[in-house]
Chains A and B, each alone.
Chain A
Amino acid sequence: DQQVKQNSPSLSVQEGRISILNCDYTNSMFDYFLWYKKYPAEGPTFLISISSIKDKNEDGRFTVFLNKSAKHLSLHIVPSQPGDSAVYFCAASVGFQKLVFGTGTRLLVSP
């Protein structure tokens, strides 16, 4: 039973354009959400997070949006760069409990 879903296995965008990665969740108790980036042969690295009391969080080129009524999370990357090409995982947790990860979306940014 996948509580965190990333329905797009892959996404291709051109350099300079916006990348939008989506994530849906089923557990309405989740109150903390994170995005991780993973390059091949490396461990995931933390990118950005948002708590359920907010609907938006920005960090440079990265913005995470949370729509609690739709149980939907998205990551916007503007402008996209070739170095952003990686697998992106969304994750969620309930209070002080362990993170549940989605299956990942592979982003390819072409020059």
Chain B
Amino acid sequence: NAGVTQTPKFQVLKTGQSMTLQCAQDMNHNSMYWYRQDPGMGLRLIYYSASEGTTDKGEVPNGYNVSRLNKREFSLRLESAAPSQTSVYFCASSTGLNTEAFFGQGTRLTVV
């Protein structure tokens, strides 16, 4: 029972580099989310996908893009990383919006 799997677990980027965070879930969930967690800020929603084929901006979408590749996979891309994007990123999934969400273990990203 893998649940929600995120890769990589750790990453260090230089300012201006690009990278994609991968997320896959095996629970046949319709909805998927990307959050970032920063000290004193809680979990803030970056983007979400209510169902396969749809994506919407969350609270802090600037500097990010997403792709809902299929029902299982939802990736987050940083086109030109900035130090302000240093954070812990969590992917989550749920059967639908307004239901319990299951989270991955997180990706700790440092941009220098």
Contact = CB atoms under 8 A, between A and B. Distances in A.
B103 A44 contact: yes
A98 B106 contact: no
Contact of A96 (B92, B97, B101, B103): B97
A96 B98 contact: yes
Interface in B11-35: 33, 35
A36 B38 CA distance: 16
**What interface size band does chain B fall in?**
20 to 34
A98 B97 contact: yes
A80 interface: no
Nearest to B40: A103
A43 B107 CA distance: 10
Given A43-B4, A101-B44, A49 B97 contact: no
Contacts of B90: 43-44
B100 to A, nearest CB: 5
A7 to B, nearest CB: 12
B12 to A, nearest CB: 17
A97 interface: yes
9 closest cross-chain pairs (CB), A and B: A43-B103, A103-B42, A101-B43, A96-B97, A101-B42, A46-B100, A96-B98, A93-B98, A44-B103
